[in-house]
Amino acid sequence: MIRKTLGLLLICSIALFVPGCGTGQQLVGITINPATVVFGSADPALFAQLTAMGTYVHPPATKDITTQVTWTSNIVEVAQVTSTGIVSPNVACGVTPINASLVTNSPKGNEITGTMSVTVDGTATSCPTTTP
């Protein structure tokens, strides 16, 4: 009985002090789907739902992290994005990157970012063109 208890204690001690798959997953990349969106005009009533997929290691996995990331548009006059990943054209034509970022705990404070592209087409009379 004592031998079994000591064996179990040894196994538990090893699990606590030796890093293994139990130490948590590490986010290594973010992919945004779709990778590109094209709107035919600068009409804020149009929209597309973006999805952020996180790629993890230790153990390997791909997870939907759409509601966990911070969404940003580089040129909000061209396209705006909500905190839930809904992107829509704004008041100008052009192309803008949309980013999905997440600060990780492993390694602590590491920011992982994925990027996609939004194009808003239109005629010269339907919307002004904005360049970065």
Structure tokens at 74: 């580089």
Rounded Cα distance, 47 and 50, in Å: 10
Q: Please count the other Cβ atoms lying within 10 Å of the Cβ belonging to residue 38.
A: 13
Residue 130 has a pLDDT of 55
Q: Domain residues of the chain, as ranges? A: 23-120
Q: Give yes or no for a contact between 72 and 32, defined as CB atoms under 8 angstroms apart.
A: no
Residue 94, pLDDT above cutoff 70: yes
Q: Model pTM?
A: 0.76
Nearest CA to 70 out of 103, 37, 25 is that of 103
CATH 3.30.360.10 given to domain 23-120: no
Rounded Cα distance, 1 and 86, in Å: 61
Q: SS3 of 38, please?
A: strand
Q: Give yes or no for a contact between 41 and 126, defined as CB atoms under 8 angstroms apart.
A: yes
Mean pLDDT of the chain: 84
Q: Give yes or no for a contact between 49 and 66, defined as CB atoms under 8 angstroms apart.
A: no
Residue 132, pLDDT above cutoff 70: no
Report the Cα 41 to chain-centroid distance in Å. Answer: 26
Residue 99, pLDDT above cutoff 50: yes
